[in-house]
Amino acid sequence: MKRKRFGIFIVVLLCLTVCVIACVKRMTPVSNADYSVTVGSQVLPFADYPVGSYFTDNGKPCKDHMVCKAGASLYDEDACNCKCTWNDIALNSTSCYGFANMVFYRLFGHTTYSQTSKVVSDISASEIDASYLYDLFTNGTVKAGAHIRTRSHSMIFMGCDKSYIYTYEGNYDGHCKVGVIKRSWSQMVKYLKRKKGIDFIQMPDSYSENPLTSE
């Protein structure tokens, strides 16, 4: 009898373990999502910054973020391993913001510091829910290539569907790693609440094809 009860206990325990693992997988955003989008003449993710690459000088993980946070690293490429330029274009920022500026420049011909409008600004965490986000990203206000800035992280909006929202991000892991992040709407709500809301979402004043003829 004891053996039978023990056997039942083991079976129940295994079932619970499988359920927990499945739940965790559903709750965890996919950081290497197989998703791409064309913006004008450009395709995201870029071929030179695919999923799993690093937005750094040596193409390897940044291990000196404390140094990179110093003011000089925003303008001096030699200050740390984080990139602050692209093709000699000053990004005036590093890590996630620098990556967003690089993507924005290649898509629209300028960084997020000029010729842009904040289509959304200062959205507190308490204002964010799944319905609000879904409407915001599907009603035409925010288009592919837009720069989403939370209180502490930048990402580029790629697209969405009824179930998921996709973003192109640098430094999502804290070491300048590049990824296409797939989040369910509920995951995005939780993420933005954890990030204290949306600081702003930027779009170019003229949403058109990339004016650059070469890269």
User: DSSP secondary structure string, the chain?
Assistant: -HHHHHHHHHHHHHHHHHHHHHHHHHHSPBTB----EEETTEEES-TTS-TT-B-BSSSS----HHHHTSGGGGT-TTSSSB--EETTEE-S--HHHHHHHHHHHHHHSS-TTSSEEEEEEEE-GGG--HHHHHHHHHSSSS-TT-EEEESS-EEEEEEE-SSEEEEEEESTTSS-BEEEEEEEHHHHHHHHHHTTSEEEEEEESS--S---S--
- Do 128 and 102 lie in a common domain? yes
- Do 17 and 70 lie in a common domain? no
Cα–Cα distance for residue pair 136/28, rounded to 1 Å: 23
pLDDT at 73: 64
- Do 65 and 22 lie in a common domain? no
| Residue 32 pLDDT level (bands cut at 50, 70, 90) | confident
What residues make up the domain containing 18?
1-30
- Do 11 and 44 lie in a common domain? no
Asked if residue 97 is part of any domain, the answer here is yes
Asked if residue 176 is part of any domain, the answer here is yes
Asked if residue 209 is part of any domain, the answer here is no
- Do 114 and 196 lie in a common domain? yes
Number of domains in the chain: 2
Asked if residue 105 is part of any domain, the answer here is yes
- Do 16 and 107 lie in a common domain? no
Per residue in 81-101, pLDDT tens? 889 899 999 998 889 999 999
| Residue 4 pLDDT level (bands cut at 50, 70, 90) | low
Asked if residue 110 is part of any domain, the answer here is yes
pLDDT at 209 over 90: no
pLDDT at 160 over 70: yes
Per residue in 50-78, pLDDT tens? 999 999 999 999 887 666 665 666 777 77
pLDDT at 115: 87
Asked if residue 211 is part of any domain, the answer here is no
Q: Work out the average pLDDT over 33-44.
A: 93
81 three-state secondary structure: coil
